[in-house]
Amino acid sequence: MAVQWYPGHMHKAQKEIREIMDDIDVIIEVLDARIPYSSENPLISQLRKDKPCVKLLNKMDLSDPLLTQQWLQALEKEQGVKALPVTTKEPQTMASLSETCRQLYYDNHRQDRPIKTMIMGIPNVGKSSIINLLAGRNIAKVGNEPAVTKRQQIIYIDNGIVLLDTPGILWPRVENQNSGYRLAITGAVKDTAIEYEDIALYAGEYLLKNYPMLLQQRFDLDNLPDSPLMLLEEIGKRRGCLRSGGHIELHRASEILIHEYRSGKLGLITFETPEMVQQEEIMVLQQQAERLEKKALKQASRKKSRR
């Protein structure tokens, strides 16, 4: 699934971030703990350069705890990065954030002024909810739709941290098609831009392989279906998604599967592992190399035909 979504305010936000980055001490990047890799914006790594970074794996209450631990270890292999699992449903999980920012910055800098931080993240990872918790008041607009925040704002936190909020920014194109599906499944892409049946089939294939017991328990399945399509048909039968003649409404069944995953009713599920995405990165590089080779051959053929 190819995702291309780059509204005008996101382009503007990226330009503004570049302009003020030199004045920032620590970057706080909010990720979705269910898809830490796919929700990690490669543009942020380019923008922050060598500045220290705290990566918050938000929605840990919805993710597979064993895989969350694996991701924490994988992310901290990068120089200057500290990863913390958090959830806005348990504010105490955010308690160590300020101290972590201090440790990352004060190790190499003076301690006589507040730390300037910038909080960043793609749309719908819960960034605004985290800001409200850190500030102790509702100052950031919260919504379930992606791209709620449209402009920068400065928040002064009582414990010596100055927090600069930015709009959620997506990169121009998601090269890894698997990441495109995962972003859609978790809600980072607007539902109006996706085909529910398409992403539900992708989700169903992954869940059948990695979380079969959760599917059986939630949808009261006697036996596991042999394919994601059969899974949607079984869900449709059990949830009344029937048309006249006994035909299954796959769209409604797909909505049920995706919405129950997003809400956590299906269970604690993570849609990617560090090992999995390493293989996917190799595949993406191979695909990019093949595209460049085809482009070069095409250009060479055109030059030859002109002679």
The percentage of the chain sitting over the pLDDT mark of 70, rounded to a whole number, equals 85
Which range of residues forms the domain containing residue 298?
Answer: 278-307
Instruction: Tell whether 90 and 154 lie within a shared domain.
Output: yes
Instruction: Tell whether 77 and 155 lie within a shared domain.
Output: yes
Q: Does 189 fall in a domain?
A: no
Section 80-92 average pLDDT: 94
* Most confident among 125-129, 153-157, 180-184, 205-209 (mean pLDDT): 205-209
Q: Does 298 fall in a domain?
A: yes
Instruction: Tell whether 26 and 144 lie within a shared domain.
Output: yes
Confidence of residue 15 (pLDDT cuts 50, 70, 90): confident
Section 156-161 average pLDDT: 76
Residue 103, both tokens:
């440790």
Res. 264: pLDDT tops 80: yes
Q: Are 28 and 101 in contact (CB under 8 A)?
A: yes
Instruction: Tell whether 221 and 307 lie within a shared domain.
Output: no
Q: What does the alpha-carbon distance between residue 164 and residue 114 come to, in Å, rounded to a whole number?
A: 13
Q: Does 271 fall in a domain?
A: no
> Element (H or E) spanning 18, and its range?
helix 8-20
Section 177-205 average pLDDT: 90
For the chain, the average pLDDT equals 85
Confidence of residue 147 (pLDDT cuts 50, 70, 90): very low
pLDDT per position as a tens digit, 17-51:
778 888 899 999 999 999 999 999 888 888 888 89
The predicted pLDDT at position 149 comes to 46
Res. 12: pLDDT tops 70: no
**Domain of residue 217, CATH code:** 1.10.1580.10
Which of 95 and 259 is assigned the larger pLDDT? 259
Q: Does 142 fall in a domain?
A: yes
pTM for the structure as a whole: 0.85
Instruction: Tell whether 157 and 292 lie within a shared domain.
Output: no
Res. 6: pLDDT tops 90: no
Instruction: Tell whether 56 and 151 lie within a shared domain.
Output: yes
Instruction: Tell whether 148 and 28 lie within a shared domain.
Output: yes
Q: Does 179 fall in a domain?
A: no
Instruction: Tell whether 65 and 107 lie within a shared domain.
Output: yes
Sign of the dihedral defined by the CA atoms of residues 128, 134, 138, 139, in that order? negative
Q: Does 1 fall in a domain?
A: no
Q: Which residues, other chains included, contact 161 with Cβ-Cβ below 8 Å and sequence gap of 6+? A: 98, 101, 114, 115, 117, 134
* Weakest-pLDDT range from 17-21, 26-30, 202-206, 272-276: 17-21
Instruction: Tell whether 215 and 255 lie within a shared domain.
Output: yes
Section 224-239 average pLDDT: 96
Instruction: Tell whether 215 and 158 lie within a shared domain.
Output: no
- Domain closes at, from 147, 165, 183: 165
Q: Does 287 fall in a domain?
A: yes
The predicted pLDDT at position 148 comes to 42
Confidence of residue 249 (pLDDT cuts 50, 70, 90): very high
Based on the structure, what is the number of domains in the chain?
Answer: 3
Q: Does 180 fall in a domain?
A: no
Residue length, the chain? Answer: 307
Sign of the dihedral defined by the CA atoms of residues 289, 294, 299, 303, in that order? positive
pLDDT per position as a tens digit, 48-58:
888 999 999 99
Section 215-225 average pLDDT: 95
Instruction: Tell whether 259 and 285 lie within a shared domain.
Output: no
Instruction: Tell whether 13 and 161 lie within a shared domain.
Output: yes
Section 163-183 average pLDDT: 78
**Domain of residue 97, CATH code:** 3.40.50.300
